Structure 1
Amino acid sequence: MGLLTLTKVSKAFGNQQVLKGLDLDVPQGAIYGFVGENGAGKTTTMRLILGLEPLDSGTITFTGQPVKFGHTQGIGYLPDVPAYYGDLSAREYLTLCGRLTQTAHLHERVGEMLHLVGLPDTRRRVHGFSRGMKQRLGIASALLDRPAMLLCDEPTSALDPAGRREFLALLASVHNETTILLSTHILSDVERICDYVGILHAGKLQMQGPLQALLAAHTQPATRFTFSNEAQAQAAATLLGGAATASQVTVTTDAQAALRQLLAQHLMPTAFNPIKASLEQLFMEVIA
């Protein structure tokens, strides 16, 4: 059993059945990517874990103890759009949070967290922070009381590419502080920092496990052949049964066998490159 375990969890809102017997297991120390389409039920799952919604059926355990509606301890939470008192500085905001949670050695802990997330300890007001800085402050507040787990709900959805890269690097750097459950529909974010993944679709977790092991077991190696013109690429796609895009063809058959077939038909590629198995390929196969 992992640090966090959901067993046959179901949840409906009126006639809409969002979760239908969800099983999920997050190992201690993992960065777990919880992925699914928009509206798949990721946020609902997060709210159930936090005790903010009652279960219809099933069980949730955290550190071996059942999670009850209205009462969860030891879990930090970063929503997609954190809300702040904008007229406070970062230190003042974290101090307020720490007083509410009765954080020990608060002054020193606030300084530690500001340093950890790379925010200056100045009197600059939060309302003047960039979106990325606000997300950094959100991580600092979520980790202030040393939770055993950090839940991040679509934290990069409104960040630009540079901001996403910086945020993910920060999230990976705080991995020693806590286990992380990262909910997102941005698959490249998961590939960048997560070691475990679970794919939510149709109200159930369709697949979960170590990311690299899942990719190795459930995806086929692919090769991209490049030709000098689009006509050759189309002919190669017809021959090999692959997908042609402009002057390139992608196939999942053995590369050497495919090359022999091409040469036998006098189709000479100008280049061919192996394509690394991707979470997107796995995701599309699971939800098809």
Structure 2
Amino acid sequence: MAVLELDKVNKKFGDMKVISDLSFQVTEHSVFGFIGKNGAGKTTTMKMILGFLQQDSGAIRVCGEKVSYGNTKTNRNIGYLPDVPEYYGYMNPREYLRLCGEITGLSKEAIRSRTGELLELVGLEGVNRKVHGFSRGMKQRLGIAQALLNEPKLLICDEPTSALDPVGRKEILDILSLAKDRTTILFSTHILSDVERICDSIGVLNQGKLVLGGNVADIRHKYRKDIIGLEIGGQYPVEKAAAGLKELAFVNNIHISGQRIEVEVHNAEDSGAGILAFLLKENIPVIRYEIMEPSLENVFLEVVG
């Protein structure tokens, strides 16, 4: 089931077209990585999904219901975490979530049970400090709890790991991975290693157009090149090993970097046995052997230029 659907959405500001025939779907209980350079149109798209901006043409649906500009009912199904969430700094986390629950009309029992459950999920259970003393990472974690308070069908996260240190980023990504069991997540970011870690599918936006989309594993397979990476050990001369590898019939090219050799072949899986046999025959010590997979960063650079 598609929780979010965009169908040929277009948006202009004056004479400048910022979104062009944008179409994609996000399936239930998945994490969708929405990727693009600054200015690609990600924030504009999210504002249209939330009904804050009106598209010029096309349709946006959340849980099958069409989004309407201005006062859309679909936002009852959406939780939103902005890139820089704002708080009443004099409150502690429990007080803040209680206020949010009261504003949205939750019962006292629902507020109590969900607050405890969500604070445990985001690692803030038992924290009684005022929010104004929180680190950026703690504020992001509280923002996720607030966004999940109404049990939304769709959670939109706008650059949730930007400006966080590695520990803070890991904490947020771990929380989002757990949250997938209870909702569907649209994860806007430019940090491609984060996308690789938690996203099931991606959409790459470039100058307002979707230039790449689909399942992460399928995209990796499509852009995979047949390259075998070798790290030569000990004091063995890497140039000698490379020269011997070049003589193999199935080897197309060789790249050397320090003690590392990247071997381009016709078919990595079939050629691997021949390479290993050669290394064994010549008594060449190998510390590492791998069939190299393309990183999303390499794929991103290839499709956006």
TM-score scaled by structure 2?
Answer: 0.83
Task: Report the AA paired with residue 124 of structure 2.
Answer: L
Structure 1 counterpart of 2:229 = 224
Q: Give secondary structure in 1 for the equivalent of 2:188.
A: strand
Q: Distance in 1 between matches of 2:302 and 2:29?
A: 28
Q: Give secondary structure in 2 for the equivalent of 1:54.
A: coil
Structure 1 counterpart of 2:88 = 85
Structure 2 counterpart of 1:27 = 27
Say whether residues 1:194 and 2:199 are aligned partners. Answer: yes
Q: CA deviation at 1:140?
A: 0.5
Asked if the contact 1:233/1:246 (under 8 Å) is kept, the reply is no
Asked if the contact 1:219/1:282 (under 8 Å) is kept, the reply is no
Asked if the contact 1:223/1:251 (under 8 Å) is kept, the reply is yes
Most deviating of 211-220 and 152-161? 211-220
Structure 1 counterpart of 2:69 = 69
Number of residue equivalences:
286
Most deviating of 245-254 and 17-26? 245-254
Q: Distance in 2 between matches of 1:63 and 1:223?
A: 44
Q: Distance in 1 between matches of 2:82 and 2:36?
A: 17
Task: Report the AA paired with residue 88 of structure 1.
Answer: M
Q: CA deviation at 1:101?
A: 0.9
Q: Give secondary structure in 2 for the equivalent of 1:82.
A: coil
Structure 2 counterpart of 1:10 = 10
Most deviating of 275-284 and 177-186? 275-284
1:112-131 matched pairs, under 5 angstroms = 112-131=117-136
Asked if the contact 1:76/1:147 (under 8 Å) is kept, the reply is yes
Which one of the candidate residues 106, 131, 139 is aligned to 2:111?
Answer: 106
1:154-233 matched pairs, under 5 angstroms = 154-226=159-231
- Which runs of no fewer than 5 residues in structure 1 stay unpaired? none
Q: Distance in 1 between matches of 2:258 and 2:46?
A: 42
Asked if the contact 1:142/1:150 (under 8 Å) is kept, the reply is yes
Q: Distance in 2 between matches of 1:233 and 1:198?
A: 41
Q: CA deviation at 1:12?
A: 2.2
Q: Distance in 2 between matches of 1:176 and 1:250?
A: 40
Structure 1 counterpart of 2:153 = 148
Task: Give the superposed CA RMSD.
Answer: 2.8
Q: Give secondary structure in 1 for the equivalent of 2:160.
A: coil
Asked if the contact 1:226/1:269 (under 8 Å) is kept, the reply is no
Say whether residues 1:41 and 2:58 are aligned partners. Answer: no
Q: CA deviation at 1:204?
A: 1.4
Task: Report the AA paired with residue 80 of structure 2.
Answer: Y
CA, structure 1 residues 142+249, in 2 after alignment: closer, same or farther (shift >3 Å)? same
Which one of the candidate residues 91, 97, 100 is aligned to 2:100?
Answer: 97
- Which runs of no fewer than 5 residues in structure 2 stay unpaired? none
Q: Distance in 1 between matches of 2:258 and 2:47?
A: 45
What is the CA deviation profile of residues 19-70 of structure 1, one whole-angstrom value per residue up to 9, with x for unaligned ones? 1111111011111111122221111111111111111221101111110112
Q: Distance in 1 between matches of 2:101 and 2:16?
A: 38
What is the CA deviation profile of residues 145-180 of structure 1, one whole-angstrom value per residue up to 9, with x for unaligned ones? 111010011100111111111110111111111111
Task: Report the AA paired with residue 174 of structure 2.
Answer: A
Asked if the contact 1:103/1:144 (under 8 Å) is kept, the reply is no
Q: Give secondary structure in 1 for the equivalent of 2:144.
A: helix
Structure 2 counterpart of 1:248 = 260
Q: CA deviation at 1:277?
A: 3.4
CA, structure 1 residues 248+232, in 2 after alignment: closer, same or farther (shift >3 Å)? farther
TM-score scaled by structure 1?
Answer: 0.88
Q: CA deviation at 1:276?
A: 2.8
Most deviating of 124-133 and 224-233? 224-233
What is the CA deviation profile of residues 241-287 of structure 1, one whole-angstrom value per residue up to 9, with x for unaligned ones? 45543443434424575976xx7xxx996534322332223222322
